[in-house]
Amino acid sequence: MNKFNYRLVSRVMGSLMLIESIVLLVICLIPLIYGENDAYYFLKTSGICLVFAGLALIISRNPSSNIGKREGSVIVTFTWIIFTLFGLLPFWLSGSIPSFTDAFFETMSGFTTTGSSILNNIEELSHGMLFWRSLTHWIGGLGIIVISLAILPVFGVSGTQLFAAETTGPTKDKIHPKINETAKRLFAIYIALTISETVLLKLGGMNWFDALCHSFATIATGGFSTKQASIGYWDSGYIQYIITLFMILSGINFSLYYFGLKNKWQKIRENEELRYYLIVLFTFAIIVSWSLVDFSKVQSFQPLEKAWRDALFTVTSLMTTTGFVTADYMFWKPLTWVILLIVMLTGASAGSTSGGIKMIRVVISAKAIYYEFKRLIHPNAVFPVRYSKHLVREDIVTRVLAFTLLYLIVAAFGILILAISGMGFLESIGGLITCLGGVGPGLGLVGPAGNFSYIPDFSKWFLSFIMLIGRLELFTVLLLFTPTFWKN
């Protein structure tokens, strides 16, 4: 194996820090616009970020261009950690979030597009802080889209993503110059969705600030709101349905938009992930809404519409791993909690900003399991797994099964560690699954009406780590902890 290419890693990190520094500088405009006095903290953070970016770029001149899976894993993992370390500074330095642990948790929750919060009173934050908080989602979501659909298919860093690339990704050929072009198109789609939602929310009566912040959080399937009551603050069917629509759109593989633009409708129709994603989403939404209605008391259409809206919103929000809320589902029947936990585990589509296992893996796992039944009856026949009319290689099936199982094992042991750390049973289950999937709200005290402020510091650091490994699909980060990685 080649020597680890520290210079190239340092060079990439330096460039990314430079970008963060510039973004933070631009944010200084927000306090200036709203006449608030905390522009200084963004400026200071931008400066600190610039210094480190400069150092990283200076020590890494003329790197060799050799990049392997190990470099890839380190770059991706440390990008999220370093962005979080700088990103928390405005919150922490300004005293908006006085505890370093809390600031780290909140910022990691932002960049991983999770949306779990430690804030007890979101509205007391300044416009600048709220804007930066929502923007961390948007940056994290963009990062994931570009990494999973433009960079990984070329480098093949994450094995599981390779597969998505082979079946649905826009790049089939593995030529480096393609990265830029693909990334640009994805960026355009990402921006187009964000602007469309912002305009539609403004038309519904939100101000531009809230509309933009919520669009950042929706397209990134993040979930930070500018209001303590989340989307429940706007008791407007229009706004809630618009956000539901954009959450659903954000849970679709971005490659499909690319195909749509190229008029390749056939590719979209054949896409099994999209089909099952929508089937599962609407099936569960119907079951939940049905459980919310007491039919013996229904006199008009209005309570039915409200139940359907809340059910659809909640299932969509948790399945796309956004995490906005309009109702406190802890008052709903336990069956809803089970449904919500299941959709939090599955997540929406690969190649979107959503987290969780992803429907493509769920579908392939389900097929692989079903074919085992066929093999019992016809032991000598060969039943290759098909997906969207393509054959799936045997080793890819094994990889998908291994991923899905690893996800559930990490969930089980994560719940164990949270319980050991002193959290309750509901809180450990809900908190772990929501952070691993990048959702936001959990169950019990960390449910939709609560937050993560009261949990022990250890649990906060552990959940920050869980958000990171969930966002980067387990293998990327956990690889760094295996002996194999360190053997030369």
- Choice between 236 and 421, CB closer to a copy of itself: 421
Residue closer to a copy of itself (CB basis): 15 or 283: 283
User: What six digits make up the tokens of 5?
Assistant: 């290419």
Of the ranges 5-13, 154-162, 189-197, 204-212, which one interacts with a copy of itself (CB under 8 A)? 154-162
371-390 residues near a copy of itself, rule: CB under 8 A: 372-379
* Min separation Cβ 288 and a copy of itself, Å: 11
C-beta of 209 vs 276, nearer to a copy of itself = 276
Q: What is the rounded CA–CA span in Å between residue 466 and residue 474?
A: 9
122 forms part of the interface with a copy of itself (CB under 8 A)? no
Q: Which of 22, 199, 245, 402 binds a copy of itself (CB under 8 A)?
A: 402
* Residue 79 CB contacts under 8 Å (≥ 6 apart), including other chains: 12, 13, 16, 143
For residue 159, the minimal CB distance to a copy of itself (Å) is 5
Least separation in angstroms between residue 420's CB and a copy of itself is 5
Closer to a copy of itself at the Cβ: 98 or 334?
334
Long-range contacts of 338-341 (CB under 8 A, 24+ apart): 339/284, 339/287, 339/288, 339/315, 340/314, 340/315, 341/429, 341/430, 341/433, 341/443
408 makes contact with a copy of itself (CB under 8 A): yes
Determine the interface stretch with a copy of itself among 39-47, 88-96, 215-223, 412-420 (rule: CB under 8 A): 412-420
Torsional class of 440: left (φ above 0), alpha (ψ -120 to 50), beta (otherwise): left
Minimum Å gap between C-beta 460 and a copy of itself is: 18
Q: Write the interaction track for a copy of itself spanning residues 220-249; mark x where CB under 8 A is met and - where it is not.
A: ------------------------------
Sign of CA dihedral 315, 319, 325, 330: positive
479 binds a copy of itself (CB under 8 A): yes
Site residues (CB under 8 A) for a copy of itself, limited to 283-342: 287, 291, 333-335, 337-339, 342
Residue 279 binds a copy of itself, judged by CB under 8 A: no
| Candidates 38-46, 299-307, 415-423, 464-472; binding stretch for a copy of itself (CB under 8 A) | 415-423
Q: What are phi and psi of 386, to 5 degrees?
A: -110, 145
Q: How far apart are CA 7 and CA 14, in angstroms?
A: 10
Does 478 bind a copy of itself (CB under 8 A)? Our answer is: yes
Shorter beta-carbon distance to a copy of itself: residue 27 or 307: 307
CA-CA distance, 370 to 392, in Å (whole number)? 15
| Helix, strand, coil percent content, the chain, rounded in steps of 5 | 70, 0, 30
Coil, helix or strand for 140? Answer: helix
**Cα–Cα distance between 368 and 394 in angstroms, integer?**
10
C-beta closer to a copy of itself: residue 33 or 420 = 420
Size, binding site for a copy of itself by CB under 8 A: 57
C-alpha to C-alpha distance for 192 and 314, rounded to whole angstroms: 25
Gap between the Cα atoms of 134 and 115, Å rounded:
9
Residue 38 parent element (H or E): none
Dihedral sign of CA atoms 172, 176, 177, 180 in order = positive
Name the residue nearer to a copy of itself (CB basis): 234 or 475: 475
Q: How far is the CB of 112 from a copy of itself (least distance, A)?
A: 21
Q: Residues 43-82 vs a copy of itself: string with x where CB under 8 A?
A: --------------------------xx------------
Element (H, E) at 228: none
Place of tokens 């749509």: 260
Work out whether the CA dihedral 276, 278, 279, 284 comes out positive or negative.
positive
Instruction: Quickly tell me which residue has 């042991």 as its tokens.
Output: 413
Task: Compute CA distances 108 → 14, 93, 102, 439, 472, whole Å.
Answer: 19, 17, 10, 13, 12
CB closer to a copy of itself out of 293 and 406: 406
Query: Given the rule CB under 8 A, which of 93-101, 274-282, 296-304, 418-426 is the region that contacts a copy of itself?
Result: 418-426
For a copy of itself, the binding residue among 100, 370, 390, 457 (CB under 8 A) is: 370
Query: Does 420 sit near a copy of itself (CB under 8 A)?
Result: yes
User: How far, CA to CA in Å, does 44 sit from each of 49, 85, 86, 89, 265?
Assistant: 9, 14, 11, 9, 49
Nearer to a copy of itself, 298 or 369 (CB): 369
Of the listed pieces 4-12, 260-268, 273-281, 370-378, which binds a copy of itself according to CB under 8 A?
370-378
Residues lying near a copy of itself in the complex (CB under 8 A): 1, 69-70, 156, 158-159, 287, 291, 333-335, 337-339, 342, 345, 365-366, 368-370, 372-379, 394, 397-399, 401-406, 408-409, 412, 415-416, 419-420, 423-426, 428, 475, 478-479, 482, 484-485
